[in-house]
Amino acid sequence: MTNPQEGTSASGNARVVLDDRDISRALTRITHEILERNRGAANVVLLGIPTRGVHLAARIAKRMSDVENREIVAGALDITMYRDDLRLKPTRNLESMFIPDDIDGKTVVLIDDVLFSGRTIRAALDSLGDLGRPRAVQLAVLVDRGHRELPIRADFVGKNLPTSLAEEVRVSLEETDGRDGVDIIGGDA
């Protein structure tokens, strides 16, 4: 609601479910949960899934650096070439990929904006398997909107958001969209 022009989309009724301060609090909580679960950041590799997951991963890495008092860098894991729907859509451009550290024997925390069908995470797990053998893989998402199509769940969730399939969840971040916020668009709200 900070910017009415962006709040109203072509489809009409957009509802704000998280504002910038909610997102900030959720990311801070997720950061502490990751550190608590893994007893520090020593063996943790943060990998964001492009595009918004990468920005979220960078924010979590910054918070983690502050808590741990050392520089922690998040990576980017492009899963385009592992998608199961490549043939159904026009050719996608690849996103840039950056693996900050050897992942063998480490705990990899995948970070994405919205967890929906679980297919993106399936692709990410396949991709990780070709990059090395992590000791464990955990998943952090800003929003879990349900409707899973695969047996996948998140370890760290910013907000559980029950939605109908008619609705669209839109995550906006300062880095890509000029503002922070999570909106639900469409449906019968």
Partner 1 sequence: MIKHLLSAGDLSKDDAIRVLDTAEEMLSVASRPIKKLPTLRGRTVVNLFFEDSTRTRISFEAAAKRLSADVINFSAKGSSVSKGESLKDTALTLQAMGADAVVVRHHHSGAPHRLAHAKWTSGAVINAGDGTHEHPTQALLDAFTMRRHLGDLHGKKVTIVGDVLHSRVARSNALLLPTLGAEVTLVAPPTLLPVGVDRWPVETSYSLDDSLEEADAVMMLRVQNERMNNAFFPSAREYSRRYGLDTARMNRLPGHAIVMHPGPMNRGMEINADVADSVRSVIVEQVSNGVAVRMAVLYLLLSGSTDDPAVGDNAGLGVGIQEGTA
Q: Name the residue nearer to partner 1 (CB basis): 7 or 132.
A: 132
124 close to 152: Cβ distance less than 8 angstroms = no
- State the virtual CA torsion across 131, 137, 143, 147 in degrees, nearest 10: 90
| Closest by Cα among 89, 87, 94, 85 to 116 | 85
What is the closest distance, in whole angstroms, from the C-beta atom of residue 102 to partner 1 in the complex? 10
> Nearer to partner 1 by C-beta: 69 or 96?
96
Query: Residue 14 or 103: which CB sits closer to partner 1?
Result: 103
SS3 18: strand
CA of residue 85 relative to chain centroid, distance: 20
Shortest spacing between CB 75 and partner 1, in angstroms: 12
Least CB distance to partner 1 at residue 83 (A): 9
Contact present, 15 and 188 (Cβ < 8 Å): no
Distance of CA 68 to the CA centre of its chain: 22
Binding residues (CB under 8 A) for partner 1: these are 78, 81-82, 85-97, 117, 126, 129-132, 149, 165
Decide whether 1 or 81 has the Cβ nearer to partner 1.
81
Minimum CB separation from partner 1 for residue 126, in Å?
A: 7
